[in-house]
Amino acid sequence: MNRYTLEEFVQNTQQEDKGEGVFELETPRLLEINLTDTIWAKTGAMVSYRGKIKFEREGVFEHGVSKMFKKMLSGEGTSLMKATGDGKLYVADQGKKISILRLAQGESIFVNGNDLLAFEPSVRWDIKLMKKVSGMLAGGLFNVKLEGPGLVAITSHYEPLTLIVQPGDSVYTDPNATVAWSGDLKTEFVTDVSFKTFIGRGSGESIQMKFSGSGFVVVQPFEEVYTANGNQG
C-alpha cells in the first residue's frame, strides 16, 4: 500500500496541462476536455470542471425527429449532454479505460452505445439499429455511427484488443464484448446452438456478431450485460 505525505500525494496526483489539444488523457481512465465552444458527452460522465461551462441534457428533438424515433424503437439509447462554454471539463465512465480517436474527413466508426464517452460537434452521427434476434440480449443492442472529421473518445473495460478483418477471413465476436468496428465492415448476427454451453448469456444459444470485408473490430475482455432499459447491469 502506497503511503504519502499530503505534499507527496498532491505532487503525484495533481492535474497537469500536456498541451495535447481539445481531448487530453489526464489518466488512462479520466479525460480532460479543453472546452472553448461545445462538446457532446455521455450524460452522467462529468466528474469535475472549472471555468464557465453550461450543461444541458439532450433535448427530445435535439438531433432531429428521425433519431428520436430510432431511440424510441430501439427501446434504449445513450443519453447525451451538451457542454458549452470556456473551461476544463473532466469526464469518465465507471473507471473504464479511455481511447481517443481522431477521425479524418470521410472516416467512420461504429461504437457500442454504452462505450461512447464524448465527441466533438464536427463529428456527424446516427443511431444504427442492429437486426433483432429473439432473446439475444436483455435490452437489445444498438450502436452509433460516427463520421469525421473530429475527435471521439470511447471506453472499454480493461485493455481493448483490435482484430483485423480481411476479405475471406471473417471475425466473430460476442456482442457483449464488442466495443467498436470500422465503418465499412458488413455485420450480421449468427447463431450456433452447439456452442450454447460455452459462450453467450441468457439466450439458451450462442449469439455472435460476424464481421466481413476489410477493416477492424475492437473487443474488450469483459461482457457488458444490459437491463431491459438499456442500462448496464
For 29-74, what is each residue's pLDDT tens digit?
999 999 999 999 998 999 999 999 999 986 544 555 445 444 444 4
- Quick check: 151 pLDDT over 70? yes
Q: Which of 68-77, 81-90, 121-130, 145-154 has the lowest mean pLDDT?
A: 68-77
199 band by pLDDT with thresholds 50, 70 and 90: low
Among 181, 171, 175, which Cα is nearest to 210's?
171
In whole angstroms, give the CA distance from residue 93 to residue 114: 10
pLDDT of residue 197: 53
pLDDT of residue 195: 56
- Quick check: 138 pLDDT over 80? no
In the block, residue with C-alpha cell 424510441: 72
- Quick check: 191 pLDDT over 90? no
3-state secondary structure of 16: coil
Alpha helices in the chain (DSSP H): 6-13, 65-74
Which architecture does CATH list for 20-219?
4-Layer Sandwich (3.60)
pLDDT of residue 74: 42
- Quick check: 228 pLDDT over 80? no
pTM > 0.95: no
pLDDT of residue 65: 43
- Residues 217, 185: contact at Cβ < 8 Å? yes
- Residues 47, 41: contact at Cβ < 8 Å? no
pLDDT of residue 198: 55
164 band by pLDDT with thresholds 50, 70 and 90: very high
- Quick check: 110 pLDDT over 90? yes
pLDDT of residue 185: 95
- Quick check: 83 pLDDT over 50? yes
Please tell me which residue, 230 or 129, carries the higher pLDDT value.
129
DSSP string, 154-215: EEESSS-EEEEEBTTB-EEE-GGGEEEEETT-EEEEEEEGGGTTTS-SSSSSEEEEEEESSE
**What does the mean pLDDT of the chain come to?**
82
